[in-house]
Amino acid sequence: MSESTNLKEVLESKLPGVELAWSEFRSQQRVIVPALQIAQALRALRDAGMDQIVDITAVDMLEYPGATDRFEVVYLLLDTQSGQRLTVKTHLNEPDLKLPSAYPIWIGADWLEREVYDMFGIVFEGHPNFKRLLLPDAFESFPLRKDYPVKGRGERHNFPIITRAES
Amino acid sequence: MPLDLIESPDLDAGYREGLWTLNFGPQHPATHTTLRLVLKLDGETVVEAEPDIGFLHSGFEKLAEVLDYNQYVTIVDRMNYISPMANEIAWHHAVEGLLGIDLTPRCKYIRTIFAELMRIHDHLLCTGTCVLDLGGATAFMYAFNEREKIYEICERASGQRFHTSYTRVGGLLYDVTDDWVAMVRDFCKTFPRAYRDFAGLVMKNRIFVERTRDVGVLSKADAIAGGATGPVARASGVERDLRRDEPYLAYNDLDFDVCCAQGGDCYARFQVRMMEMLESLKIIEQAIENLPSGPVFISGTGKEGLPDKTEVYRSIEGLIHHFENIMPNRQMPSPKESYYGATESPNGELGYYIVSDGDFKAYRARTRPPSVLHFSLFNRMIRGCMLSDVAAVLGSINIIAAELDR
């Protein structure tokens, strides 16, 4: 196991003048990066040794008490050599739900980004094969958004019934 | 067809047109569950494979937002149903991390034993069906015979064979009994013999080795950048195991080795799984002999843990305690934070990213399923292999569609 790097210094030197909000909870390090600088930040972190993308996910903050932004996109990064982890978050608001794809940085981002789009409607630009992952292509809603009901819109019982003669 | 030609982006358009498209699945015996592959074939060589998933999508993550931390355990059971208890342990590991709960030693040891039993359980199915898909039905039966014993151990502890729902925040549904301990001891005694029979049938079987060696190779660089974890990554030479690197439960007290291989092919993945079963057995043997006594729930009359059932039914204090834990308007508050907790599940890093808004249920609970990342690398593994290798590669990465689609 090699020594863990000081990621705070790395990010601050690579992104001078950018406002980064660092926090810690139960010894898990988190940083909030503005959406415009996210690609630069992720690339800098990869170059600093964070060689694995553990997960990319999003949270709809619509009903979260005290939240000001609509969506939070979360990148969980890992350094497989030292075991160091970092959570990178960025905030997005409608109608501008676009982020640069992390696929050129880690190939593991491929399906993770497609799933975030599938569930939240956040578009990742520069992804080589960008479409829905789990739901059918014709599906119109984004079910993990908070304004999508647990039961209702887009559910099977609302689909038009096709008779044998029409099929 | 040589690999470098396949990988060149400006593949002759005429050549591409001449490729044959084959649908593999969603109902094919080798897919085990419902997943579909669209294969582009040049003769019998796979030029490109595009997985199409989502047939089993059931909105588990949406359900996590309406069920509380104890109720959702019945849902995580159904994700990787090959090793249900491993999911439960991972889920409550993340929840307890968020709430800052430290378990009792007895609970830690019981969970560790179950986590390792589940690893054997999962690996037996994966290796067994991998051989079955390649035409060896006998070894599969040997593996399933042992799985049956683990089902019985689960049933004795929780009352359920399959979807056990055994863990609770801060403890376990029931404490284990002495005859459960005897059953685990008995399993430890009989398993090595069954393992020898199974391994002897397969490990040096020429047909099996030739069908899996150098097939579906995943390079170390791709394994790391692609987010591969668990046996798939370790077979490609990534020496990482959360049980050793980020010890949780009782793993700090126990002695075991991290099993690695270098080949990155189907045979290496098979080998890693076979070796891990013996390591798991070693862990179970140590843990069952040193099983601490004491309560399985964290102590105190606070809202952290559920009270014992005998207390609930026989005293008013116990009933009140139970009520305070169960009623939605009186449950334990959780910090308004986000937390990622991960465990080494049989398939790889199984983590839950939980965002809490202060209630005893998640505002958002994201599952980080190892299968998704492994299956997204499938195209890289299969390119240049033969059509008949598809079953070998699918079997070696152990794709569970319920976990893949959630």
Q: What is the per-residue pLDDT across A87-98, written as a single tens digit (0 to 9) for each?
A: 999 999 888 889
What is the C-alpha separation between B341 and B69, in angstroms, rounded? 14
Please provide the average confidence, as pLDDT, over all residues in chain B. Answer: 86
C-beta neighbour count of A81 within 10 angstroms: 18
Nearest to B227 by CA among B106, B347, B114, B147: B347
Whether residue A160 is preceded by a cis peptide bond, meaning omega within 30 degrees of 0, is: no
Cβ atoms of B368 and B121 within 8 Å: the answer is no
What is the C-alpha separation between B259 and B255, in angstroms, rounded? 13
**Contacts of residue A71 in chain B, CB cutoff 8 Å?**
none
C-beta neighbour count of B268 within 10 angstroms: 26
- Extents of the domains making up chain A: 7-158
DSSP state of B350: E
Query: CB-hemisphere CA count at 13 Å for B173?
Result: 18
What pLDDT was estimated at residue B2? Answer: 43
What pLDDT was estimated at residue B4? Answer: 46
CB contact under 8 Å between A150 and B339, yes or no, is no
Taking residues A28-41, report their average pLDDT: 89
Domain B60-405, architecture per CATH: Orthogonal Bundle (1.10)
What pLDDT was estimated at residue B5? Answer: 44
How close B157 comes to chain A (CA, Å)?
32
Q: Tell me the pLDDT tens digit for each residue of B228-257.
A: 999 999 999 888 888 888 888 889 888 888
**Partners of B91 in beta bridges:** none
What pLDDT was estimated at residue B392? Answer: 87
What is the C-alpha separation between B89 and B94, in angstroms, rounded? 9
Strand order from edge to edge, sheet including B20-24: B20-24, B36-42, B45-52
pLDDT at B58 over 90: no
Pairing of strands A71-78, A52-60: antiparallel
What is the C-alpha separation between B296 and B107, in angstroms, rounded? 5
In the structure, what pLDDT confidence band is assigned to residue B10 with cuts at 50, 70 and 90?
low
Interface check for A62 against chain B (CB to CB < 8 A): the answer is no
CB contact under 8 Å between B338 and A65, yes or no, is no
State yes or no: ipTM above 0.90. Answer: no
pTM here? 0.89
* Nearest-CB residue to B357 (from A55, A65, A112): A65
CB contact under 8 Å between B225 and A80, yes or no, is no
How close A96 comes to chain B (CA, Å)?
22
Residue B381 phi/psi, 5° resolution? -80, -35
Residue B204 phi/psi, 5° resolution? -110, 15
Fold (topology level) of A7-158: Beta Polymerase; domain 2 (3.30.460)
Burial of B253 (0-12, 13-18, 19+ CB in 10 A): middle
Pairing of strands B171-172, B167-168: antiparallel
**Contacts of residue B338 in chain A, CB cutoff 8 Å?**
25, 30, 59, 74, 87
Sign of the four-CA dihedral A93, A97, A98, A101: positive
What is the C-alpha separation between B193 and B145, in angstroms, rounded? 12
DSSP state of A70: S
Q: Tell me the pLDDT tens digit for each residue of B360-386.
A: 888 999 999 998 999 989 888 888 888
* Nearest-CB residue to A57 (from B225, B366, B380): B366
Pairing of strands A123-125, A98-100: parallel
**Contacts of residue B342 in chain A, CB cutoff 8 Å?**
54
